[in-house]
Structure 1
Amino acid sequence: MSTELLWTGPEGGPVLVLAPGAGAAMDSAWMNRFCELLAERGIRTARFEFAYMAARRTGTRKPAPRADLVLDEYRSAVEAVVSLAGAPVAIGGKSFGGRVASMVADELHAAGSVSALVCLGYPFHPPGRPERLRTEHLSALRVPTLICQGTRDPFGTRAEVSSYALSPAIRIHWLEDGEHEFKPRVKISGHTHEQHLATAVDAVAAFVVSYDGGGESQGDVA
């Protein structure tokens, strides 16, 4: 399976593989900005799209499939990145992309391909359906994991997530009043969207660097 990769950031920097959310392209404005900010901090990102999204570029509109149906696509993307950049690499994604990454992370970590996992706005449940949890595999996750999440994300608020049984390998970096794109209400939170993006990027960059080469982390994330 051939994987088209979009690289951003300095050659030789720690590598983070990222897949976009279910309705977004790998070069969406949000993904572009996040990867630009990571590049400024020395992180090299390798983005890719699942086949259904790549098909939309040629006019074939396909709905997003179930997460379990694209696991092999994520595995192939990691294989392609590792063949070019070496192993291990960190993996993750925005929303759906992060969820898929979380479903293959332990397997790839055990194989030595992956050092850590980064989820940007994890979709703990569909909006308005808090009973439909997507957390079962997260209780036993072994790979070091960082989730960046807005406190009012409709896919999982801070109040909701605090009640979930999550693995001790998972750290959550909360963005006050942020929604799914980390955007806060400025008058309520005192923060801007750009400030929250920068804060999230700082946390991700420090986390990826701490596990670059498969080493142990040097500190917790708030």
Structure 2
Amino acid sequence: MTVRPACGTLALMEQILTDGPVGAAATVLFAHGAGAGMDSPFMAAAARGLACHGIRVVRFEFPYMRRARLEGRKAPPDRMPVLCDAFRGAAAGLREARRIVVAGKSMGARVAACVAADVGAAGVLCFGYPFHPTGKPDRLRLEPLLALDCAALIVQGTRDPFGTFEEVPGYGLPDRVRVHWVPDGNHDLAPRKSSGTTPEAALERALEAAARFIRFLPERSAP
């Protein structure tokens, strides 16, 4: 049976969006990337897709993105300590969740990996992990992944400029960090028209893999 997502409404006062059934076995705390907020097309599609697998998804925004909304202009991302504090603060509101999975898109995925142990996450879900800045493959950002003490799934397009199918296998990631490759996917997991599939179909298959990963994670208590 398909679970209809209980979609939230963007509200600056509440500063969160929720999808999926209340009382779900797992709650995903989902952070956005550097250039787009929690209501971006990718974030919305991913959240609603996970909700259709019976998973509750809570989206929130980092301080710089909230400021950008209020001021009506773009703002650069906060520094990593501020981003991590904001993620921990959002997790503090989920104390009653049966199982918390920290997740993120691009920059948000990096922050999620950094705070996983602090919030007692059962696992980490990364969409388009930024293994290195685009065009700078020598500046690797592996530390958060190498330090994890829980399982992680990275959903990555094979031609993602922040870490391609040719590059990532050589990074020596630990066994607890698995990569699900989206054929011909870019940083948003979208394949080209010539691939023979659609962005919607590619995302659906990626979310099926994410849902399987979440389903078999153990429960952990927040510290």
What TM-score, normalized to structure 1? 0.87
* Cα root mean square deviation, aligned: 1.8
Can you give the 5+ residue segments of structure 1 that lack an aligned partner in the other structure? 215-222
Residue ranges of structure 2 left out of the alignment (5+ in a row)? 1-12
2:85 pairs with 1:76: no
The match for 2:103 is 92
Residue 196 of structure 1: aligned partner: 202
- Secondary structure of residue in 1 paired with 2:58: strand
Helix, strand or coil for the counterpart of 1:182? coil
Q: Please, which of 115, 128, 137 is the counterpart of residue 135 of structure 2?
A: 128
Native 8 Å contact 1:91 1:117 kept in 2: yes
Question: Would you say the 8 A contact 1:126–1:132 is kept in 2?
Answer: yes
| 1:57 and 2:73 correspond | no
1:143 Cα deviation after fit: 1.1
In the alignment, which residue of structure 2 is the partner of 1:67?
80
User: Aligned partners of 1:68 and 1:157: how far apart in 2?
Assistant: 27
- What's 1:118 paired with? 125
Specify the alignment match of 1:11 in structure 2: 22
Q: Which has the higher helix share?
A: 1
Cα distance between partner residues in 1 of 2:205 and 2:93: 30
Is 1:25 the counterpart of 2:31? The answer is no
Percent sequence identity over matched residues? Answer: 42
Match of 2:189 in 1: 182
Among candidates 115, 120, 133, match of residue 104 of structure 1: 115
Distance in 1 separating the partners of 2:98 and 2:84: 19
8 Å CA contact retained: 1:68, 1:100: no
Question: In the alignment, does 2:175 pair up with 1:164?
Answer: no
The TM-score with structure 2 as length reference comes to 0.87
CA-CA distance at 1:74 after TM superposition = 0.6
Q: Distance in 2 between matches of 1:143 and 1:213?
A: 11
| C-alpha distance in 1 between matches for 2:43 and 2:67 | 19
CA distance in structure 1 between the aligned counterparts of 2:64 and 2:98, rounded to whole angstroms: 27
Which whole-Å CA distance do the structure 2 matches of 1:21 and 1:118 have between them?
14
